[in-house]
Amino acid sequence: MKLTSQVSNCLRTFTAGACLCLVGACSDSVEVRSYSIPKERETSNSPRWQAPESWGEGKSSAMRLGSYAVKDDNGSALDVSVTAFPGDSGGILPNVNRWLGQIGLDPIVKAELDQYVTDTTVDDLPAHLVRADNGGKALRVLALTAKGKTWFFKLMGDTDLAEREQANFDKFIASISFSSGDDHHGHDHHEK
């Protein structure tokens, strides 16, 4: 019994001491300090580009990082999209065959790639420029791998309108930049 009483007294003393410490910590004499840690400069794995003023807003999609619509007075239309996928995205031949199928052309073999694909560079990065048409429907695609992804800048639609918009598409492609240095990362914007 004597031991239980001593333990009980010790617990009361400890509890009272702990309460006094807590009360002391809550008093006005406690100094609170805050520190500012500088935010690291944000970098982006997304390129910047400039779309021509004449290109309107295109259909939205969770997969599209940029989307434009080009139309003329005759009702002809082009769809322009920017997408990115991890890694090499299956390689150039399967992608070219998929795109050819989208405009009604038959698949090709590797030896026939040079009929549709031109090697080029964009922002000092190796890239493939794909150009095809079936007489009524055309496609233009720039494919390049950067920052662990393959980027596709694709124009597809009416062949005659695609021909008329070729210079704008070329300027669009030439504007692509993966280098950091301004505040516009990964968002499409129009030329002024």
179 has pLDDT over 80: yes
Full-model pTM: 0.72
**How high is the pLDDT of residue 88?**
84
Kindly report, residue by residue over 82-111, the tens digit of the pLDDT: 999 998 888 999 999 999 999 999 999 999
Distance CA 34, CA 116 (A): 61
pLDDT in tens, 121-137: 999 999 999 999 999 99
pLDDT over threshold 90, residue 5: no
Q: Over the chain, what is the mean pLDDT?
A: 81
Fold of 49-190: Protein Transport Mog1p; Chain A (3.40.1000)
pLDDT for the residue 147: 87
pLDDT at 46: 86
The pLDDT, as a whole number, for residue 89 is 87
Q: How far, in Å, CA of 87 to CA of 113, rounded? A: 21
pLDDT for position 108: 98
Residues 6 or more apart from 89 whose CB is under 8 A from it? 95, 143, 149, 150, 152
CA-to-CA distance for 181 and 136, rounded, in angstroms?
Answer: 41
